[in-house]
Amino acid sequence: EAGVAQSPRYKIIEKRQSVAFWCNPISGHATLYWYQQILGQGPKLLIQFQNNGVVDDSQLPKDRFSAERLKGVDSTLKIQPAKLEDSAVYLCASSRTGKTEAFFGQGTRLTVV
């Protein structure tokens, strides 16, 4: 079974630029999560989808971050405009339902300079 796929693996951008990350979850997994992991900290949930609907986006900075999962499969996370403090690893995870174990992708390491 293929794991959670993310791209790109690394991205360096200047502040005020925009960036997008892509995630393909494990086949059949209805729940998809985006987490932000700042260096030295645990992952923090940004947004959770159940199929193509948003379940929780309470910690998503909506003035600059957006995410979508149009067909209930792949998802994109966008930051526009980026700030220095957005430098982090962005992890995508998926699970069969919200109650079951989540599997994580390798993440996208974003550096904002």
Q: Residues interacting with another protein, by CB under 8 A?
A: 33, 40-45, 48, 50, 55-56, 91, 97-99, 101-107, 109
Shortest gap between Cβ of 81 and another protein (angstroms)? 27
User: How far does CA 36 lie from the centroid of its chain?
Assistant: 7
Sign of CA dihedral 72, 46, 20, 111: negative
Q: How far is the CB of 74 from another protein (least distance, A)?
A: 18
Minimum distance from residue 84 beta carbon to another protein (Å) = 21
Contact 33, 56 (CB under 8 A): no
Nearer to another protein, 81 or 103 (CB): 103
Residue with tokens 């982090």: 88
